[in-house]
Amino acid sequence: MRAAALLLATLPFLVAAGVEAAAGPAPTLAWRLAPSDVAVYDVTPVSWKEGKEARGAAAVRTVYGHDLRDGGQYVPVTPARADLPAVLALRLPASGDATSVELRLLPRDAPPTTAKGKVAARARDDGLLEVETSWTFSSAPPTERGTASLWVRGGTAHTVLAFDRAREVVVSSRVTLEYETRPASAKDGKPATVSGTWDLVLREVRRTRYEGFQAHVDAAIDRGVAWLRTQSEPSGAFKPRGEDAFGPTALAILTLVECGVPREDPLVEKAMGWLCLQPAPTSTYHRALALVALERAYTPASEEALLATGRQKGRIRALPPERRDFCRRVGDALLADVASPGSWGYPSAANALLQFDSSNTQYGALGMRAMARLGFEVPDTMWIGLVRHVQVCRERKAPRGVLRLRREGERDPAPGETVAGATAAGEKVPEVAGFSYSTRDPEPTASMTLAGIACLELARHELSSRGSRKWTPPVADEVAAWILGGWAWLDRHWGVDRNAEHPHGSWHLYFLYSLERAGVFSRVRTVGDKDWYFEGAVRLLLQQEKEGSWDAVDEQRLVATCFALLFLKRATPPLTHDEPTVAPK
């Protein structure tokens, strides 16, 4: 392999070309990105054909400041084997005179992997520092209790990176690596070799809420809406290939009206007309999305401002009678078809009463909120049942911790200033506990933790605003602690690059829309030092296709595009103004 031929003897670190190293401690080499800063790299595969270098198409990779762990090194959240090239390519020695480096990774699709490297560094004529590392890495075979089906052996790699001391960031790197994967058992497949060379070149560092950020977001929304409009069929439906059109049509209506397309727009009106002529759906997701889409389509402009000033005493949704009747039928079915009050699953599943899950329940709760805002009665038993559902899916025996949340409306501290308030300085959390999909799948994930937070915020708002007798001080205290514990779990497992702690990091855009919803409901601006909206928005800006859509491995393009637009628009209406809803006569 080429990497083996490029092994170099360790050289002393030079401060400048032709100048001997100064006495005293060598300088530390470390990234200096702020927690939510984003380093954007072009990643280009390199190959050789007939002795000539051939370069493939560049992809974009982002590196977040909060991922710079382990002494300022790049380690992605819940890494996979596919992250190995970038991890090794962007790794720096702990200090300037280091001659070796060691890295232990916990990839989600392989057992713990240890990489050891020999380092040589020199100053270049252009003022950059060149760091060259030769690596060996491998993992232990999977244990019988492990979940990884592959293990890594015989790994070698060679990296040459250029470090800018003034900016304190890696500006370029080339990595060549090769390793063998071995299946845990014969039924998992045959051994295979993974090899390749990649160039990583820094495009830019985007500072939090950089100048022009909002203009970029607005332009991305406009392109996304324009693409979404092209997906409407002559009937008015939005029908992804091979899928039922009801849910995607409801989601498309919701997305269009939240992104500023008027309800009276012919395309939106035609889509709502088609939706309300369909038989009542049986899916929890479809029922909830239909209710939310129609409720938001008939939300009067400037309603929140009118409620705040007292010029309007309640929420009014003036739906035509036939559409209101449709919402009543769908809402009644949603309330009736539960595993237990406040807990939903797939109604068509075998043993449906036992097959509840937090994903269906999250959307069931959103449907209930839409029902309440449409003027329909939602019993307290549903909201208190929602609290019980989240409690059942909450992580057990979790550690204690400290969480810093900055909420919307709280000012940022000046340099060196400590802002008064528990969340600004750090609030003790009884348990750093995430939330899981169900009792059958008890490991917490990022998307389900966000679902748990959103459900608790909804239940707290509805029960407290209506003065329910079920909302007692002990219940209120527990719910507040569980919400903080969920945000603390997310702080520890942070990353907007994938659905953290999901076995495959899957459902990424579903996760981002869940993050937007929970962030709005909790009025959270930053988690620890991480600006969740900025980081997620930059990720989406870099992933948008030229025609305006978004694509995702686990999500159909139309659905993925809707989730991305709803995140960018911050579409979820906040939990404010507790005046009772006024139903039209």
**Cα three-residue angle 336-342-345, rounded to 5 degrees:** 70
Name the residue with tokens 């300022």: 72
Query: At residue 410, what are phi and psi to the nearest 5 degrees?
Result: -80, 135
**Cα three-residue angle 120-126-130, rounded to 5 degrees:** 15
pTM of the entire predicted model: 0.88
User: What are the CA-CA distances from residue 218 to residues 221, 265, 280 (Å)?
Assistant: 5, 20, 35
Instruction: Yes or no: say if 363 and 293 are a contact pair by the CB < 8 Å rule.
Output: no
Mean pLDDT by 10 residues, the chain (585 residues): 32 29 56 89 93 91 80 78 92 79 86 92 93 94 62 95 93 97 76 95 93 96 98 91 84 97 97 94 94 95 77 83 96 90 77 73 96 94 96 92 87 49 63 92 93 97 91 94 95 89 82 97 93 96 96 86 98 71 39
What are the strands, taking DSSP E only, across 295-449? 401-403, 405-407, 427-429
All structural domains of the chain? 2-206 (no CATH), 213-410+426-569 (1.50.10.10)
Q: Which helix H or strand E contains 158, and what residues bound it?
A: strand 150-164
> Which tokens belong to 517?
């919803």
> Please, is 57 exposed, middle or buried when counting C-beta atoms within 10 Å of its C-beta (0-12, 13-18, 19+)?
exposed
